[in-house]
Chain A
Amino acid sequence: MFKAAHSDVAPKRKKGPGALATAYLVIYNVVMTAGWLVIAVGLVRAYLARGSYHGLYYSIEKPLKFFQTGAILEVMSRVFLTWAVTHSVREVQSEDSVLLFVTAWTVTEIIRYSFYTFSLLNHLPFLIKWARYTFFFVLYPMGVTGELLTIYAALPYVQKTGLYSVTLPNKYNFSFDYYTFLILIMISYIPLFPQLYFHMIRQRKKVLGHVEDYSKVE
């Protein structure tokens, strides 16, 4: 899931952050950009080396895990997808759907963190701003599709092995069915995804509104 809602808070601050905070944020964003670039480069190299995209997950597994977990401020669903689904259910790691959402996240994040880096330095190239508010049209549905397919692929294995599930009887009188939980997560995409998608469309109109004005001057 893409939490663009949070990301819109950062650039809109009226009072600038102090020098120390800015320095920290710049470093943080540069590191995140670099991290996602590493993952992107890793993906491309692995593809070129193998000639196919099977097993690509393994080539970027380590940096993916590091940069996902390090971004605690970020989308909890991203961490969930990586650890609680993709990592936990080995059978899912060779699925094409994993490539789908990792690619979507990677491209999104490279654009997003360079957007923040440049914004903080008060030098935002229009291309980055345009990319941020235009690429999502494809990247959001792509990422969501990848995520949903991955969770769906994990379901039979979770049911068979009883992964992360607790059954009765036990001394805490508690039970948890991870299989049902995953289904509920999938259902929650239905109300949440359109809200985020339309929010980004509205943001785009606000931020890039004047682009349409230029095209009218003909």
Chain B
Amino acid sequence: MKHYEVEILDAKTKDKLCFLDKVEPNATIGEIKSMFHKSHPQWYPARQSIRLDPKGKSLKDEDVLQHLPVGTTATFYFRDLGAQISWVTVFLTEYTGPLVIYLMFYFRVPFIYAPKYDFTTSKHWVVHLACMCHSFHYVKRLLETLFVHRFSHGTMPLRNIFKNCTYYWGFAAWMAYYINHPLYTPPIYGEQQIRLALIVFLFCQIGNFSIHVALRNLRPPGSKTRKIPYPTKNPFTWIFLLVSCPNYTYELGSWLGFTLMTQCLPVAFFTLVGFIQMTVWAKGKHRSYLKEFRDYPPLRSPILPFVL
């Protein structure tokens, strides 16, 4: 068996960082990353970006050495992605925050509202309903993170956790402050409005969960394959006929429901900002589906049927 030699250069300075000899032809990039890690312990595999070209795309961990366009002495370029943190850790942190923070406002913990309201509860029943919905939403997200989602990437840059937590925790505090405020004003159309809002909210929560399960089932455990999602027997997944990322569509619907239920402007803001971000993500996902699959269904829009 002919062995390869692998040299790893710094993508910016072109310095020789590592030389590996007697590398098996069927070695994967992932294995090469582990070997590189041994000689440079500060660069664990998750923060290594290995490329064929200093300015090119990162190679995947699954790529096999002998299938790459390299000679028997392979030259790779290395870029440090910076400190990394696992997606699971980020999701658990960013979702636990809103859950706890909202409850602090709901129970009117001291130093938020005037002292005479400490540990009192709102007299409006919609406020109790809103607390249950908000809490249910984030508990659902936590459980999905632990048991449903299959992540393509193991890690993301560390600074993302600060950015993401500021967003989720900040907005949660802002919304919770007004909904649980002693001077809160319940929805104008009363019970009718709240009932409709609750139906929309629950419908979209079930829908969102159905999509997450459908996406999980597309992917066998431990794999990172990508396939075109299709409607299943579950009616909540039939929206795949019209939309590439129905999980975002349902998420938007949930928050529209919550906005209607609480009639609170900060909730509307949160819904709007979330919608903008999800639209950006949906468009990106839609584009990669189109690029990867020749036979991608042409009727589908990224996030809103026929519209966006």
Identify the A interface with B (CB < 8 A). 168-175
- Closest-CB distance, B258 to chain A (whole angstroms): 13
The answer to whether A169 touches B184 (Cβ under 8 A) is yes
Question: In the complex, what residues of B have CB within 8 A of residue A172's CB?
Answer: 263-265
Additional A-B contacts beyond A169-B183, A173-B184 (15; CB < 8 A): A168-B184, A169-B184, A169-B185, A170-B185, A172-B263, A172-B264, A173-B178, A173-B179, A173-B185, A173-B262, A173-B265, A173-B266, A174-B264, A174-B265, A174-B266
Quick check: is B181 within 8 A (CB to CB) of the other chain?
yes
Chain B, Cβ-Cβ closest to A167: B183
Question: In the complex, what residues of B have CB within 8 A of residue A175's CB?
Answer: 178
Question: In the complex, what residues of A have CB within 8 A of residue B68's CB?
Answer: none
Point out the residue from B179, B181, B188 that lies within 8 Å of A171, measured CB to CB. Answer: B188
The digit string for B257-271, where 1 denotes a CB below 8 A from any CB of A, is 000001111100000
The digit string for B125-163, where 1 denotes a CB below 8 A from any CB of A, is 000000000000000000000000000000000000000
CB contacts under 8 Å to A, within B252-298, are 262-266
Interface of B is mostly: loop
Indicate the member of A170, A171, A173 with the most B CB atoms within 10 Å: A173
Complex CA distance for A173 and B124, rounded to whole angstroms:
14
Question: In the complex, what residues of B have CB within 8 A of residue A168's CB?
Answer: 178, 181, 183-184
- Closest-CB distance, B184 to chain A (whole angstroms): 6
Question: In the complex, what residues of B have CB within 8 A of residue A173's CB?
Answer: 178-179, 181, 184-185, 262-266
Question: In the complex, what residues of A have CB within 8 A of residue B266's CB?
Answer: 173-174
Question: In the complex, what residues of B have CB within 8 A of residue A170's CB?
Answer: 185
Complex CA distance for A170 and B262, rounded to whole angstroms:
13
Chain A, Cβ-Cβ closest to B265: A174
List 16 A–B pairs whose Cβ atoms lie within 8 Å, in order of A's numbering.
A168-B184, A169-B183, A169-B185, A170-B185, A171-B263, A172-B263, A173-B178, A173-B179, A173-B181, A173-B184, A173-B185, A173-B262, A173-B263, A173-B264, A173-B266, A175-B178
Complex CA distance for A173 and B188, rounded to whole angstroms:
12
CB contacts under 8 Å to A, within B233-264, are 262-264
Complex CA distance for A172 and B183, rounded to whole angstroms:
11
Complex CA distance for A200 and B184, rounded to whole angstroms:
49
Complex CA distance for A169 and B265, rounded to whole angstroms:
13
Question: In the complex, what residues of A have CB within 8 A of residue B262's CB?
Answer: 173
Complex CA distance for A32 and B178, rounded to whole angstroms:
45
CB contacts under 8 Å to A, within B84-102, are none
Indicate the member of B263, B264, B265 with the most A CB atoms within 10 Å: B265
Chain B, Cβ-Cβ closest to A174: B265
Complex CA distance for A168 and B263, rounded to whole angstroms:
14
The answer to whether A174 touches B263 (Cβ under 8 A) is no
Chain B, Cβ-Cβ closest to A176: B265
Chain B, Cβ-Cβ closest to A171: B185
Question: In the complex, what residues of A have CB within 8 A of residue B184's CB?
Answer: 168-169, 173
Question: In the complex, what residues of A have CB within 8 A of residue B188's CB?
Answer: 171
- Closest-CB distance, B240 to chain A (whole angstroms): 36
Chain B, Cβ-Cβ closest to A166: B265
- Closest-CB distance, B179 to chain A (whole angstroms): 7
Chain B, Cβ-Cβ closest to A170: B185
CB contacts under 8 Å to A, within B166-193, are 178-179, 181, 183-185, 188
The digit string for B184-223, where 1 denotes a CB below 8 A from any CB of A, is 1100100000000000000000000000000000000000
5 A-B pairs closest in CB distance: A174-B265, A169-B183, A168-B183, A173-B264, A172-B265
- Closest-CB distance, A61 to chain B (whole angstroms): 34
Question: In the complex, what residues of B have CB within 8 A of residue A174's CB?
Answer: 178, 264-266
- Closest-CB distance, A124 to chain B (whole angstroms): 34
- Closest-CB distance, A72 to chain B (whole angstroms): 22
- Closest-CB distance, A4 to chain B (whole angstroms): 27
